[in-house]
Structure 1
Amino acid sequence: MADDYYRVLGVPRTATAEEIQRAYRTLARRSHPDVNKEPGAEDRFKQITEAYHVLSDPKSRANYDRFGAQWRQVPEDFDARRHAGASTGPRRTTSFVNIDLEDLLGGVFGGGRGGPVQGADAEAEITIGVEDSYLGGQRTVTLPGGDHYKLTIPRGVTEGQRIRIAGEGSTGLGGGPRGDLYLVVHFRPDRRFTVSGRDVTARLPVAPWEAALGARVPLTTPGGEVQVKVPAGSSSGRRLRLRGQGLPDPHGDPGDLYAEVRILVPPHPSADEQRLLEELARVSSFDPRSSDSRSSK
């Protein structure tokens, strides 16, 4: 049959009325659309409720046990319980406590023995700059739905970390408290920086003569400007490690900052620069395509 009501409720065909009631309470609480926001939860809740209505009534259950999916076609005055041997369902007799659906839900979702139910937690995504992780502090964020929140960005927050805002989730049931809102952090793309865990890589533009002769050059980092010593003979792609200058960690050691050398040439060399470059080309024996050159830093 399309929907086996026993399988829907997760009970055997020999289940007592109390077992069916208990299974329904558990599943209804888990799948109610006011609590479960997952896709298909509402359809699942309707399926569970239909199964409970059929199996909680002794007459409809007996007809269902005998005729299966066609039980609704049985005349209303037909009662399989009065036909000896007609039912293939449970043979032991149990007392059934009639519970109105609203009364049952009241018990599950508040107002009854189940007590109030806290609202479901919600989740949204926010985008911040890498600088925000270095500095932390108060920020106002706007979610896609237009809601504005003023929150504290923790220093050292990382990609994918969640920031909790208490009491801003879904409304509770039966007088229960609201759930919480969790904001998932993503870093805004920045061509200057890349982040891996707590380590940050920053591009370090240098002139050819700075790379060849060595120099101390300024570097803009998410935490401010620092001075970087470029060793003589550095090539593009060389990574210079600045220990402890990556993303901070309130509970441990900060990450590292890596300055990645990028050699830039004058786009429009002056006459003197042109002359000196030509002279260098004439006197230099350096071959950048040799294996020795490619293996050097």
Structure 2
Amino acid sequence: MSQREWIEKDFYKDLGVSSDASQEDIKKAYRKLARDLHPDANPGDAAAEERFKSVSEANAVLSDPAKRKEYDETRRMFASGGYGGGFQPSGGGFSGGSTTFDLGDLFGGGGAGDGGLGDLFGGLFNRGATPGGGANRSRPRRGGDIETETTLDFRDAVQGVTVPLRLTSPAPCTTCHGSGAEPGTSPRVCPQCNGSGIVSRNQGAFGFSEPCDECRGSGSIIDSPCRDCRGSGVQERTRTITVRVPPGIKDGSRIRLAGQGEAGLRGAPSGDLFVVVHVRPDRVFGRDGDNLTLVLPVSYGELVLGSTVSVPTLDGRVGLKIPAGTADGRVLRVRGRGVPKRGGGAGDLLVTVKVAIPQKLDEQATEALRDYLRAEEAGGFDPREGWAGA
């Protein structure tokens, strides 16, 4: 692909977002499209598969702030015709506004670190430069990052768990082991670019550098392409990987698995896999940072007289002492029974006591309660003393 072809791709349009979309908007748009267009959801649909690849390519650039910045800057420069004005021939270079530029400088010909288009394309095409400004031997492009999701029960998320994930994504070809060449053969150095992946062309007084047409910028030619991957070194493959979720992970967290993303072309490094973890609410426990929370139903008598009750934890039950005279809604703490911490230890279990009111009493209990209320009044207890100006 030539530089101009690459620049003319509208990655924002592919994802259906505006050019000023936030990183979060880009992530949401990619998730939805990837889910809708995934080959597993559209078996045999070639159009959906091509669209899935386009969306993945767009996300690989726009989800990376550095690549996105380079992409935006390069497109702006080409859309406007150059730095601040249209490019017009002017002697040995181009004039943009009141300034004259040498095209070699724009494409990085003036040496490393000039900040011209050569630097931009170097990052976008994964192409580096030697200290003298020349191009290194081209390296096959790294595979794209991919993202998937998993949902865990609350207790598994708190305690940590190992889960299998089934993925369909580009992976190294099992026949050629990613080389792209038929077993028993090897790629050879491209004679046109001498393995650099880049060719220079002269047009009048100017020189242009672009990916080699012969090897498509890879620097090598495969005479006998692998019959299974057709020379790409990559196959769309369904695989199962095991993911270890660390204890204490929170809802919405992302786990990065290096090298588990899309396979790179012709043996290039694979991208990374990001797993977004969702956590189901628990019927008993809640969470406050590293602390677990729960609401404990108690009787009025247990609060007034004091008691020891059994409460659940993540690893069994413990006895909780309720002091006499405890107020309804008070929070009692059980130390070390909360969420495991990364550096060791655990948070606490915070227990909120809440009086459970009986909906129906038999005659004996009703009479006993009346006796108690009379005794309260005789003893001078007024629950509303000092309340609302009383």
Does the alignment pair 1:238 with 2:330?
yes
In structure 2, C-alpha distance between the alignment counterparts of 1:36 and 1:135, rounded to whole Å: 36
Partner of 2:364: 272
Partner of 1:19: none
Tell me if structure 2 keeps the 8 A contact 1:118–1:173: yes
Which runs of 5 or more residues in structure 1 are unaligned? 1-7, 9-31, 67-78, 293-297
- Structure 2 residue aligned with 1:136, among 150, 160, 165? 160
Tell me if structure 1 keeps the 8 A contact 2:296–2:354: yes
Query: Residue 382 of structure 2 aligns to which amino acid in structure 1?
Result: D
Deviates more, 1:170-179 or 1:146-155: 146-155
- Structure 2 residue aligned with 1:113, among 137, 152, 155? 137
Which runs of 5 or more residues in structure 2 are unaligned? 1-6, 8-56, 110-120, 129-135, 168-237
Deviation at 1:167, TM superposition (A): 3.2
Partner of 1:176: 268
SS at match of 2:344: coil
Deviation at 1:291, TM superposition (A): 5.2
Does the alignment pair 1:215 with 2:295?
no
In structure 2, C-alpha distance between the alignment counterparts of 1:92 and 1:135, rounded to whole Å: 62
Deviation at 1:254, TM superposition (A): 1.0
Deviation at 1:242, TM superposition (A): 0.6
- Structure 1 residue aligned with 2:100, among 87, 90, 101? 90
Alignment of 1:21-170 (within 5 A): 33=58, 35-38=60-63, 45=71, 48=74, 51=77, 64-66=86-88, 88-90=98-100, 108-109=125-126, 113-140=137-164, 150-170=242-262
Query: Residue 64 of structure 1 aligns to which amino acid in structure 2?
Result: G
- CA 1:269/1:54 → structure 2, altered by over 3 Å: closer, same or farther? closer
Tell me if structure 1 keeps the 8 A contact 2:334–2:349: yes
Query: Residue 138 of structure 1 aligns to which amino acid in structure 2?
Result: T
- Structure 2 residue aligned with 1:247, among 311, 335, 339? 339
Partner of 2:222: none
In structure 2, C-alpha distance between the alignment counterparts of 1:147 and 1:120, rounded to whole Å: 17
- CA 1:235/1:43 → structure 2, altered by over 3 Å: closer, same or farther? closer
Partner of 2:383: 288
Deviates more, 1:38-47 or 1:264-273: 38-47
Query: Residue 252 of structure 1 aligns to which amino acid in structure 2?
Result: G
- CA 1:117/1:248 → structure 2, altered by over 3 Å: closer, same or farther? same
SS at match of 2:319: strand
Deviation at 1:243, TM superposition (A): 0.8
- CA 1:48/1:96 → structure 2, altered by over 3 Å: closer, same or farther? closer
| Structure with larger Rg | 1
Alignment of 1:2-21 (within 5 A): none
In structure 1, C-alpha distance between the alignment counterparts of 2:300 and 2:96, rounded to whole Å: 95
TM-score normalised according to structure 1 size = 0.61
**Number of equivalent positions:** 239
Tell me if structure 2 keeps the 8 A contact 1:208–1:264: yes
Does the alignment pair 1:229 with 2:321?
yes
SS at match of 2:61: coil
- CA 1:276/1:127 → structure 2, altered by over 3 Å: closer, same or farther? farther
Identity %: 31
Per residue, is there more helix in 1 or in 2?
Answer: 1
In structure 2, C-alpha distance between the alignment counterparts of 1:126 and 1:96, rounded to whole Å: 46
Per residue, is there more strand in 1 or in 2?
Answer: 2
